[in-house]
Structure formats: C-alpha cells, structure tokens
Structure 1
Amino acid sequence: MLFVRDPDNVEIVAVGDGNLNDVARLRDKQNSSSSLIVKYAPPFIKCLGPEYPLTVERGSVEYQALVKFNTASPGCCPKTYFYDTDSRIICMEDLRSYKDLRREMIQGVCSHEAVRCIARHIAIVHRENHVAKLSTADMDALLKQFGYTDLVQLTEQYVFTKPFTKDDPTNHSCEEVSAQVNLVYDNPQILANAEKMKKIFLEKKECLIHGDLHTGSIMVLNDSAKLMDIEFAFVGPGAFDVGCLIANYIMSYYQHMSEGNRKFAYLTIDFCKITGTTYFENMTSYTGDMAEYIKTFMSEVAGFAGCEIIRRILGAAHVEDLEGRPLAAVDALGAGVRLLTAQDRIDTMDKLMVIAHMLT
C-alpha cells in the first residue's frame, strides 16, 4: 500500500458502528480500488463513553488472534498488514465488496453456503487450537497468549452478570419488554443457570474461541464469509461461540416473523441446523466419548444462546434486528428464557430449535 506514504493522496472515511473501537478506511484518491482498513482502540468502551475505561491492549490481542485464526483456517479473517503498539492501530485488508451479515439478514438475505462457511471456519479454528490436539507446552503457551483479559471480564459482566441484575444502570429496554422482565428477575432457575453458564465460560479451558461471534462480526460475499472483531478471543468453551451465533439466528427469526416474512424466518431455522451439522463435521478434536461430548456441547450451546438473547434485549448492547420491533423483542426474550431454563435438558439441535421457536 504505497499510497499511504503520501498523506496528500490519502482519503480517510469513517466506517462501522462498533461498540468498542473506531474504524476507518484509508483510500488512494487516485486509485479507488487501493485501500486498507485501520482500526483504533480508544481507552474506553466506545458505546458507553469515557466513564467506562477499557484497556487498549485489546488491539494487540486482536492482531495476534487474526494471525492465529488465519493460520488455522486460511482466509477466515481479513489479512493483517501490521499492528502499531504505540498508536494502538491495526492495519488490515479492506473487504470492500463484503457486506455486514446482520444488515443482510435484516433485509432477508443470506445463503446456506455462507452459513456453512461460517460454521466450518469456526469449527476448524476450534479444532486446530484445542486441548485435545495441542501438546501440554503448546496449550500452556496458548493460555498465556489468550488468557483472562479486560474484554473477557467485560463479557463476564455484560453477558452473564449485569443483564441478570435487576437494577443495574447499564440495562435498558423498551416499554413492552420492561413489562416482561419478571420472566428473568423473578425466576430463580434463570438466575441460577446464568451463574452456571458464567462459571463454564470462565473455567472451561477447551480451545481458542472468537469470544464475540454474532452476525454483526461477520462479513459475507455471496457464499463466502469472514470473521471480524476478534479482540475478545481467549481460551474458553467452544460452545460459547456456537451458542452466540445460534442466538443471533434465533433473534433474526423473531424479527422476520414479526414482519410477516415467514419464508426467511424459516430459513433461519435451517441456518441453525446447518451450523450444528457443519460444525461437528469439521470439529474432530474433543476429549472423552464423542456422543457424550456432543450432548454436553449442545447443552452448553443452549445455555449460552439463552444468555446471549436475554442480554441483547435487557442489557447494554442491543441488536438492530430487534430495535424498534417491540413484539419481536418480547417473543425473542421468551425464547431466551426457555433456552436458559431448559439448557440441561437440551442435547441436540433439534430440541434446541423446538424450545427456541415453540415448534410442534
């Protein structure tokens, strides 16, 4: 990218609306096809403001994770060019022709092959960086490189703790949802299971995970997909990634059902099933009996999906799929409550689908 050597030849355009970081596109004024993405980590949570400080080391973690992910499953993430430790800036490939998966799904656009591509990438990353595959020395090195960070603590707080704390000031919801919060706060089983899932999230050192896998952190181009925003990466339970992804497909289902778009809503159920099938086809690193591993994994997926749905409706970081759609948000909240309540009885994707969508 020689054009960046001449500041007068560089056009800078802000892109993205992430909760944590600032992202800009640097483009050659004389050649619009020549560009790169610059990502900057401010010392606070962007969506909450300077009064919520956050370590800037997340940029270094993300850079290392991007390299690790692309090594395991080539092309699963944008290429990285370099990371500047002083300015806390990552320079990476500009996926100009790719589109944000969440915004595509809001419009009712997503292919089965793109869903397979996502599941295959994350399964391979898990497989190649799994405790069952790595030597003790390599696993120790992975744990040291991707251990407990401020962002893992952020997930602990904003996924598993604050949304389940009735009077936490960072929580917010629309009037229709507020009338239903007793489903969470007056339900001892929900609160106990949220604590249980938090314990698994923090203590199960299984494999390298994305740590924040949702439809807004994935870019798609026809049948291909790339994973983005990997600063939350750490060694944890593989089911957390899959559970968060499934949760986002479920929320999309309720968005489209509320709008009468049943055809695409039903496609999101296919996406969940494809995700499960493709993941297990590629995820061949596991400990213990395979049948028991799958049952435990799916139970954890259900619990994590329930937590993700609830926190996206009651917590600080909502999703565009449900914003301005109160009936969809209420229905999705019910799905999250059912999944988290029944997580220890869910051991297949089919059961998860029945409970999440109240299918008969």
Structure 2
Amino acid sequence: MINLITTMDIIWITKAKQCHQELCLGPGFPCSEARTAVEYQALVKFHTLSPGSVPTPYLYDQGIHSMFMEDLRGYKVMRTELMEGAVKMPWMSNVAIHLADIHKQTHLAVIGQEALTTLAKQFENTDMVTLTKQYVFTFPFLREGTNNRCSQEIAEHLDRIYADEQVTSTANRMLKLFLEKKECLLHGDLHTGSIMVDAEHARMFDVEFAFVGPASFDVGMLLANIIFEYYRHMSIETNNDEHRQFAYLMIDAGKELVSVYLEHMTAFTGLDRATYIENLVSEVAGFAGCEIIRRLVGAAHVADLEGMPAAQVDCLGAGVRLLQAAHRIHTVDRLLVIALMLAY
C-alpha cells in the first residue's frame, strides 16, 4: 500500500520552509519557487541511485509547486533523537552507505567530465548555492556579517575567529573549494535535522540545496552536527554520568560515519586512492569547522546548543581548532582528537 503526503501537507511544508528561511534571514530572503522543483528532482535522482536513501518521490505538480512522496510516519528526526540521548549505529552506517553510493555513482572519476558538466547544469541551483556561500562561508567570518547573531558567552570569544588569520584564511579556502570543486552530486545541506530515522534505517530529506560540488562537503557538515551532540551531552549536569556515556557514543558515531563512508566511496581522482582520502578528510575537517562556527555566530543556529553557553564555547573551540589544523588532518581519528580535545 502506498501512503502519500496530501497536497495540503505539502503546501504547508513548503510554506513552513519559507517561514523558517525568512525567520533566519529576514523578509528580504524569500524562497524561490524553483527550490521545490530542484528538491523533487534531487529526490528522484537520489532514489534512483540509492533506493531507500530518501522518501520515495511519486509526483511533482509544477502549477502549485507541491510534491507527493512516501509517508515516513513512524520515522523521527535524527537531531531530536540525539538530543534526547537515543542513537543507533546503523543510522550512521546507513547514511554513510547511501551518501557514498550517491557520491560514487555521480563522481567525475566514474561518469567523466562531459556527464558531470551536464549534471552540474541540471542541478545548477544558483539561489541555494549563493545562500550557502553567504551564510556558511562569508558572513560568519566577518565581524559585521549580515544577520550574524550569537550568545553573550560566544561574543566574548569572537577574537578566536576574527583575530586568527589561519582560521579566516582556511574559511576562505573552503569557500573556494565549495564553489569550484565540481566532483559529484551532493545533498548540499546535510545535518542531523535533515535525516529521518526509524529502528534501523535513516533517510535523508530536505534536499533542495542539491548541487554538484566536493564530496567532503556533505560529510563535513554532518560530522559537525555530531560534534554538537558530543558537547551538548558533555555539558549537561543532570545525570551527568549518563550523558557523558552518550557523548562518548557520539565519538563512535563520528568514526562510524566517516569510516563506513570511506569504505564505500571507492571513486577517486588523482594518482592513488590513499592520497585522495587523505585530502578528502582534510577537506571534511575544514568544512566541519566552518559549519560549527556558522551555527554559533551566523544567522541559523541549532537547537542542540540553544541555552547551553558552556557547550557553545566548547564547540567554538572545536571549530577554531579544525580550521587551524585542517591542512594537517588526514584521518578521522586525528580529526576527532583535535575537535574534541581527546587523548590518544
């Protein structure tokens, strides 16, 4: 039996997205109607490449900019589950395998330059790429960046970003990679709030930011959101031992995500796969650092850290360290050691 989301539900979801964007960025930044068409197109592509990676898409109505897709009733948002202290490692491996399959099957090394150029035109997505350029890589790294906002506790530490030339130069380098490295098809906005989970499975959604770019971007964005959970649970004082144990599970979750992804991501460019992976992990570190900082000082924050000043300041340190050290991070273990200040 096929369960469909109703037209009314879809229209409400589309309006909710627009309201969320305007809430973060202001009424001068309404959603483009083309956004829904890109999202449906990406759902179809992802489902074709890796069935089960996203809700099954059924129909798109151009006239009312609405879509029909599989009803994921019974699934929950991964971010909510992690915040409440629930995690299953199959969620991480499931996402990693789907993501690797999509990246691999659309990778320059597999489909060739001509096909990749065609794919990039299909998912040009200028409006959403511009939003990411501005609100992930540009404004957060300017003292007077548009719509920047932060807690008082973070405000006292802003020089850790703006007075550190290594941090700002690495952010600029990540922006250049984001815009210029055309490698494979990406989700484009992958975080724990854009993944639905049930007992064993994980499905990506909110794919309206899909575009062709560096594979490391998706991995880095999601890993940063796992780092948020580590610091969230480390800072909760009630039932502290229980929360610390969950924080340690987030270390395992981060390792699971990256290691399974690298195991299945067999496409590569360059002379050898080992060097490609080292460079990819270095990029993951840089993108994760940018995501962490923009969620603390930029326009769009995450619920994981709201009202938790100690966790926010700890996370800021993680983002700064990742940008300072990205050029010498080549394994997930080293990445997590630096981000989480762990001992070997």
Same fold (TM over 0.5): yes
| 8 Å Cα contact 1:44-1:52 kept in structure 2 | no
CA contact (8 A) 1:43 1:55 kept: no
- Aligned residue pairs total 335
Equivalent of 1:53 in 25, 30, 39? 30
**Structure 1 residues 107, 143: closer, same or farther in 2, change over 3 A?**
same
Q: Which has the higher contact order (CA 8 A, sep 6+)?
A: 2
Q: Take 1:81 and 1:215, find their aligned partners in 2: how far apart are those partners?
A: 24
Partner AA of 1:141 in structure 2: T
Q: What is the CA-CA distance between 1:41 and the residue it aligns to? A: 6.4
Q: Which residue of 2 aligns with 1:158?
A: 135
Local SS of the residue matching 2:59: strand
For 1:325, the equivalent position in structure 2 comes to: 308
Find the aligned partners of 1:281 and 1:51 in 2 and give their Cα distance: 43
Deviation at 1:178, TM superposition (A): 0.8
Q: C-alpha deviations, 1:156-182, integer Å up to 9, x for none?
A: 000000111111240111111111111
| Structure 2 letter corresponding to 1:46 | E
Letter in 2 for 1:262: R
- Distance in 1 of aligned mates of 2:59 and 2:9: 20
Alignment of 1:143-292 (within 5 A): 143-259=120-236, 260=240, 261-288=243-270, 289-292=272-275
Runs of 4+ in 1 over 6 A off after TM superposition: 1-4, 38-41
Query: CA separation in 2, counterparts of 1:172 and 1:41?
Result: 20
**Quick one: structure 1 residues 355 and 126, their matched pair in 2 at CA, closer, same or farther if it must change by over 3 Å?**
same
In 1, the alpha carbon distance for the partners of 2:30 and 2:93 equals: 37
Query: Would the alpha carbon gap of residues 322 and 41 (structure 1) be closer, same or farther in structure 2, given more than 3 Å must change?
Result: closer
1:301 aligns with 2:278: no
Q: Which has the higher helix share?
A: 2
Query: In 2, Cα distance between the equivalents of 1:190 and 1:78?
Result: 38
Letter in 1 for 2:82: M
Length-normalised TM-score, structure 2: 0.93
Q: Does 1:355 align with 2:338?
A: yes
1:51 offset after TM fit, Å?
2.0
Please give the per-residue CA displacement for 1:122-176, whole angstroms capped at 9, x wherever unaligned: 1111011111110443222201101251000100000000111111240111111
Is contact 2:7–2:67 with CA below 8 Å preserved after alignment? no
Q: Partner residue of 2:109?
A: 132
| Residue in structure 2 matched with residue 31 of structure 1 by the alignment | none
Contact residue 22 and residue 30 of structure 2 kept, 8 A? no
Q: Does the C-alpha gap of structure 1 residues 124 and 222 become closer, same or farther in structure 2, counting only changes over 3 Å?
A: same
Asked whether the 8 Å contact 2:148–2:297 carries over to 1, the reply is yes
User: SS in structure 1 opposite 2:45?
Assistant: helix
Q: Render the CA deviation track for 1:94-139: whole Å, top value 9, x for unaligned.
A: 2110000000000010101111101111111101111111044322
Cα gap change, 1:353 to 1:150, in 2 (>3 Å): same
Pick the structure with more strand per residue: 1
CA shift digits 1:229-275 (9 cap, x unpaired) = 00000000000000001100001000000013111100010011111
- Change over 3 Å in CA distance of 1:310–1:333 after alignment to 2: same
Shift of 1:50: 2.4
Task: Using the TM superposition, give the Cα deviation of residue 72 of structure 1 relative to its aligned residue in structure 2, in angstroms.
Answer: 0.8
Q: Which residue of 1 aligns with 2:294?
A: 311
1:340 aligns with 2:326: no
TM-score (norm 1): 0.89
Identity within the alignment, %? 50
RMSD of the TM alignment (CA)? 2.1
Which structure 2 segments of 5+ residues have no match? Answer: none
Match for residue 111 of structure 1 among 82, 85, 88:
88
Q: In structure 2, do the counterparts of structure 1 residues 195 and 337 end up closer, same or farther at CA, with 3 Å as the change threshold?
A: same
Deviation at 1:55, TM superposition (A): 2.1
Partners of 1:40 and 1:88 within 8 A in 2: no
Cα deviation, residue 183, structure 1:
0.5
**Between 243-252 and 39-48, the greater mean CA deviation after superposition:** 39-48
Say whether the 8 Å CA contact 2:2–2:70 is kept in structure 1.
no
Moved more, 128-137 or 350-359: 128-137
